[in-house]
Chain A
Amino acid sequence: MTIHELVTLLNPMEPDKDVFVAFFKTDGTGEIFDIEAVHDHNSHAQLDIYEEEETSEEEGNGAVMLDVTEGTPEAADAAISAFLDLCERRGITEGEKDLIWNAMAMMCYTQVRERHGPFYEAIKPLLAEGEE
Chain B
Amino acid sequence: MTVRELRAALATMEGTSDVQVVLFKNDGTNQVFELEEVLSNDGDAQLEIYEAEEAESPRRS
A residues lining the B interface (CB < 8 Å): 1-4, 6-7, 9-11, 13-26, 33-35, 38, 40-41, 43-51, 53-54, 90
Contact = CB atoms under 8 A, between A and B. Distances in A.
Interface of B: 1-7, 9-26, 33-36, 38, 40-41, 43-54
Contacts, number: 147
A27 to B, nearest CB: 8
Contact of B47 (A14, A21, A26, A46): A21
A46 B12 CA distance: 13
Contacts of B51: 23-26
B23 A16 contact: no
Contacts of A19: 1-3, 5-6, 44-45, 47
A38 B23 contact: no
Contacts of A40: 12-13
Given A7-B11, A51-B25, 4 more contacts: A4-B15, A9-B38, A44-B17, A47-B19
A34 B2 contact: no
A123 to B, nearest CB: 32
By Cβ-Cβ distance, the 10 closest A-B pairs, closest first, are: A4-B15, A15-B4, A38-B9, A9-B38, A19-B45, A1-B35, A25-B51, A45-B19, A35-B1, A51-B25
A52 B38 CA distance: 22
A17 B47 contact: no
A45 B21 CA distance: 8
Contact of A51 (B1, B6, B23): B23
Contacts of A34: 1
10 contacts: A2-B19, A4-B15, A17-B2, A20-B44, A21-B46, A22-B48, A45-B13, A45-B18, A46-B20, A49-B21
